[in-house]
Amino acid sequence: MESYKTLGGFAAEEYVVKRSRFIGYAKPIKSEKDALDFIAEIQKKHWDATHNVYAYSLREGSIKRYSDDGEPQGTAGMPVLNVITQEGITDCVVVVTRYFGGILLGGGGLVRAYTHSAKLGVDGAGIITLVPWSVCSLTCDYNYYGKIETLIRDCDGVVSDTQFTDNVSLTFRIEQGGEHAFDKKLKDLTNGKVEFTVVDEIIAAK
């Protein structure tokens, strides 16, 4: 697994130029179906719009798609896709809805308007970096619990579950590549009495 950048959430941002109203929608996705479903949702919502231009990018299959939706070729869908590419994000979809205001923008004006609207949507959604983590578990006695929890945090780890019985069982994640350093510190802290096990791998925000 490798780290990658994607959108942090959903956003809808409006922009008006020469009476044309643009709405930039941006959303993270997991599949091409997610992208197509979202595009269809926006098209249904804005059935009366002049254009619903879109672009999306997916890691799986290195898929990149776009549509000008009736705008002059190269003036709409490609500029939206270029924003996605230039921001270095993937697993995301951007739809820019346009309501024509009666004044022609020209080719260059359309490129600038769609680029700006897409960027507004992306900025509104926020960009996050997802990194690979090792999900780990360990069991320790209560004497070590506080120290180990602090050690996990000091190693930029995240505790996701704690079970208190006769002993304490912790489930936590460590960024991949940091397991060896954590193992050494854990052994030093507990004189080798506590060990951890890697039980899974996930991709999550840092």
Q: pLDDT digit string (tens) for 34-71?
A: 999 999 999 999 999 999 999 999 999 999 999 999 99
Q: What whole-number distance in Å separates Cα of residue 54 and Cα of residue 42?
A: 10
The CATH superfamily assigned to 4-125 is: Impact, N-terminal domain (3.30.230.30)
Place of tokens 């309501």: 99
The answer to whether the beta carbons of residues 7 and 92 sit under 8 Å apart is: yes
Topology annotation, domain 130-205? Alpha-Beta Plaits (3.30.70)
**What is the average pLDDT across 157-173?**
95
Question: Mean pLDDT, to the nearest integer, of 104-108?
Answer: 88
Average pLDDT of the chain is: 95
Question: What is the C-alpha separation between 186 and 154, in angstroms, rounded?
Answer: 12
Using the predicted structure, report yes or no on whether residue 2 has a pLDDT greater than 90. no
The conformation of residue 157, written as its DSSP 8-state character, comes to: -
Question: Above 90 in pLDDT, residue 110?
Answer: yes
Q: How far apart are CA 192 and CA 178, in angstroms?
A: 18
Q: Is the pLDDT of residue 33 over 80?
A: yes
Instruction: Name the pTM for this structure.
Output: 0.83
Domain boundaries of the chain, sorted by first residue: 4-125, 130-205
**Helix-strand-coil percent breakdown of the chain, rounded to 5?**
35, 40, 25
Q: What is the pLDDT of residues 171-202, one digit of tens each?
A: 999 999 999 999 999 999 999 999 999 999 99
What share of the chain has pLDDT > 90, as a percent?
A: 94
